[in-house]
Amino acid sequence: MTAQVIDVIIVGAGMSGLTLANLLARQGRSLAIVDRCLPAEFDPSGPSHARVTAVSPGSKTIFEYTGVWSGIKEKRVMEFKKMVVWDEASTASIKFFAEDMSQPCLGYIVENSIIQSTLYEALQKISGIQWCVPGSVENVSCHDHEIEVTLTDNQVLRAKLLVGADGSRSAIRHLAGISYTETPYHQLGIVAKVHTELPHECTAWQRFLKTGPLALLPAGGEGAHHECSIVWSADSEYASQLMRMDDRNFEQEVTRASGQQLGKVTLKSKRASFSLASGQAQALVKPRVALIGDAAHTIHPLAGQGANLGLTDVAVLADTLAGSKRDLGSYRLLRVYERARKGEVHVMQHAMSAFAAVFSTSSLPAIVARSAALSLADHSLPLKRFFMKQAMGLSSDRPVFAR
């Protein structure tokens, strides 16, 4: 018996994949979703998780289009209205304020698990979605009018379009024959939940250290004025030492590294670490295949823009598919998506790599130059507004689903 040809197969039930599924389901597309596991159900009485996303106002709009933002807010969301960035090696700093953009806040700190569980809950209310979980892709075969996907349990799916949303080690990217260039930062990202002696003041704090940037992000939801998520991008050797430390010594290191900006820091969760690298797929599309999120690109987490870049991929791809009567897997159509994304991603990757390099050097001329640049930017409201507009996803060329 020949399998029915559906519209789209999405491989990856993470943030990007589930957001795309919600947008496409609202367009009336038939979908299959493949992943090894489903998002965990949200437990309101359980502890908050260390992995968080700084959701920009532009990405919040995408979640509003999917109808899930109200559900996310009902769980745990922390607005941040101010951002302070300063340099360990000098007195230079820069401050960003939401009021300078006539916005209620600069962004929202949300646990990744909350975003994923809410997206999944929304999809559970939509009939006709084929869930292939647990499942993984064994083989991909592209034909003139469809793409055939064979899962490891020998199940065969046929669709007009296959979307790889399966992370930086994407099996879909590999099976589609798309090359991938990765440049390691030789750093580990360390995340944990902490309690701070002083209130965070709804402010995202980031200090550039010679070993890598440390961010303390306000978290835990409304009323949690002393809870933060730390994201510490540290050189691999030093990061390994940090991960081996007992809790007390690690707390002392975070307190010292943050310049005691929020007083004494106390751990409230286990630490987790992951390798950092900049990666870029050679192409975002092939006939009947498209890549989104980390399957397409990865960047340094120092500005918290990785997830927002992936969500913009989702919005552009959904917008491209919604606005066309062509075959969804047409290479010509998919190239519209690719052309729309390559420029922004390229600029963001190089900007983050440049920031990481400039602020990690202990060269005196570099310290003087970056201190002067920070001070200049801090005293230029038009320049700060430009940076904030880009980071907040408020530029005029945003896709329909992100405006």
308 occurs within a structural domain: yes
The boundaries of the domain holding residue 378 are: 5-182+276-402
Residue 384 binned pLDDT confidence (cut-offs 50, 70, 90): confident
Q: Which of 108, 38, 118 is closest to 79 using CA atoms?
A: 108
243 occurs within a structural domain: no
Q: What is the mean pLDDT of residues 170-174?
A: 97
75 occurs within a structural domain: yes
Per DSSP, 292 falls in state -
Taking the C-alpha atoms of residue 175 and residue 256, their distance in angstroms, rounded to an integer, is: 46
266 occurs within a structural domain: no
Query: pLDDT tens across 23-34, in order?
Result: 999 999 999 999
Residue 218 binned pLDDT confidence (cut-offs 50, 70, 90): very high
Query: pLDDT tens across 232-275, in order?
Result: 999 999 999 999 999 999 999 999 999 999 999 999 999 999 99
Query: pLDDT tens across 322-380, in order?
Result: 977 789 999 999 999 999 998 888 888 878 777 777 777 777 777 787 788 778 778 88
Structural contact between residues 311 and 318, judged by C-beta atoms closer than 8 angstroms = no
Which residues touch 15 (CB under 8 Å, ≥6 apart)?
Answer: 53, 112, 115, 116, 119, 293, 307, 310, 311
120 occurs within a structural domain: yes
User: How many domains does the structure of the chain reveal?
Assistant: 1
pLDDT of residue 2: 55
pLDDT of residue 346: 84
Q: What is the mean pLDDT of residues 184-199?
A: 95
20 occurs within a structural domain: yes
Which residues touch 223 (CB under 8 Å, ≥6 apart)?
Answer: none
Taking the C-alpha atoms of residue 210 and residue 231, their distance in angstroms, rounded to an integer, is: 15
Position 1 pLDDT exceeds 70: no
Q: Which of 193, 266, 276 is closest to 234 using CA atoms?
A: 276
Q: What are the E-state strand segments in 123-226?
A: 130-132, 137-142, 147-151, 156-164, 180-196, 203-209, 212-218
222 occurs within a structural domain: no
Residue 403 binned pLDDT confidence (cut-offs 50, 70, 90): low
104 occurs within a structural domain: yes
Query: Prior bond to 134 cis, omega within 30?
Result: yes
CATH code for position 94 = 3.50.50.60
pLDDT of residue 318: 96
Helix, strand or coil, per DSSP, at residue 325: coil
